Amino acid sequence: MSFESLGLSHNIISSVKQLGYLKPFPIQEQGIPVILSGKDMMGVAQTGSGKTACFVMPILEKLQAEVVQRDRNIEVLILVPTRELAIQIDEVFRAFTTNLKREVRTMAVYGGVSINPQMKGMLGVEVLTATPGRLLDLINSKALSIGQIQHLVIDEADKMFQMGFEDELKQLFALMPKKKQTTLFSATLNDKIAEINKILAIDPIVIEIDSEDVHIDHIEQIAYHVTSETKGPFLRYLIKENKMNQVLVFVSSTRTADKLVDKLIKNKIRALSIHGQKSQGNRRDHLDYFKKGDVQVLVATDLIGRGIHIDALPVVINFELPRSPLDYVHRIGRTGRAHDTGLAITLLTDEDLQHFGVIQKKMGKSVEIKPTNEVNLHGY
């Protein structure tokens, strides 16, 4: 099945092609037509299954045809449990807005940072991705209203309850209009998810996606134990000492991507970044330079990295771990393609070790973790 067959306009399809997506994931094949139809939906799928783009594309499809009103009434609300997920989802929305008929303003809000810039930037926002606590703070400060939302998305709904957001969710639901389209995503179906459906008075179409089989037998995996201070120098050591001429490095945020590129360039390593904050032309050029060998290192976030396809890419490095084991597999799967051999390297601090243990267990493979304390990093 192609993206064109899902009912998306050429504006969205243009962004799909520019981002390098070749064909829809199963959740997208089944979910996009449902969301476009205006029906409520419950998607049961793991992180890394393509669920974010599953709701981003049809929501933007609908919004681009509407007349914009620059006020503080939010049109689309995405509720998420964590700051990191809020930022990631907002990046996906921004990446898909390049070719729309009109500008669609998006924003992510979350706690742990000053609320004042978020309050000031709220005017004219149509798509808001928010953590529950900060959203309530903004509503109480009269910075925005969710009384007229047309589409509600709750992502990682199961984690919402695991992290204790039940009371906040009930408060927010009471402020929303009864008539709206609701899309929920969860890794599991349980009583708490059923309770959300009951409170919202919805009977959603349920789409359940099994985790995909993973084939990574042709990829050699190595992990190195580093400290936060030595991680950057050790990355440069690996690239220089092993004379790596084409290496794809994965990070978790656009900010880290750009900072890492700056450090690599200062150390005479030719590098560029590619992520959702870059323009479509910029992303295309940077990928072309990398494929041609004009730069040694391409630093990518998961959003863009998923669509990168390079024949015989020799090395992938995880500078930071992804949130989900499936994302890890998608990352290292950029190498070792078509039964070629490939090398995947992961850099781990003490804080990463437990999560990497979960990744190994889910992957069904054990990865040797090598010490680096005796490596001379002077000059790197």
Residues 251-268 have pLDDT tens digits of: 988 889 999 999 999 999
Whether the per-residue pLDDT at 314 is higher than 80: the answer is yes
Whether the per-residue pLDDT at 305 is higher than 70: the answer is no
Predicted confidence (pLDDT) per residue in 25-61, tens digit: 888 999 999 999 999 999 987 666 788 899 999 999 9
Predicted confidence (pLDDT) per residue in 33-43, tens digit: 999 999 999 99
Whether the per-residue pLDDT at 145 is higher than 70: the answer is yes
pLDDT band at 309 (very low <50, low <70, confident <90, very high): low
Specify the pLDDT at position 187: 77
Specify the pLDDT at position 301: 86
Homologous superfamily in CATH for domain 3-208: P-loop containing nucleotide triphosphate hydrolases (3.40.50.300)
Is residue 69 within 8 A of residue 148, CB to CB? The reply is no
Burial 188-198 (b: 16+ CB within 10 A, else e): eeeebbeebbe
Is residue 159 within 8 A of residue 106, CB to CB? The reply is no
Q: β-strands 247-250, 297-300: how paired? A: parallel
- Confirm whether 3-208 and 219-371 share one CATH topology: yes
Mean pLDDT computed over 299-322: 80
Specify the pLDDT at position 211: 55
293 vs 317, more confident: 317
Specify the pLDDT at position 248: 94
Considering only 84-88, 223-227, 264-268, 278-282, which range has the smallest mean pLDDT?
278-282
Whether the per-residue pLDDT at 198 is higher than 90: the answer is no
Predicted confidence (pLDDT) per residue in 230-252, tens digit: 999 999 999 999 999 999 999 98
Whether the per-residue pLDDT at 189 is higher than 90: the answer is no
Whether the per-residue pLDDT at 338 is higher than 60: the answer is no
Residue 85 tokens, joined? 């997920």
Specify the pLDDT at position 304: 62
Phi–psi pair at 50, nearest 5 degrees: 95, 15
Phi–psi pair at 14, nearest 5 degrees: -60, -45
Considering only 92-106, 125-139, 211-225, 243-257, which range has the smallest mean pLDDT?
211-225
Sorted by where each begins, the domain ranges of the chain are: 3-208, 219-371
The fold of 219-371 is Rossmann fold (3.40.50)
287: CB partners within 8 A, 6+ apart: 20, 274, 298, 308
Specify the pLDDT at position 213: 45
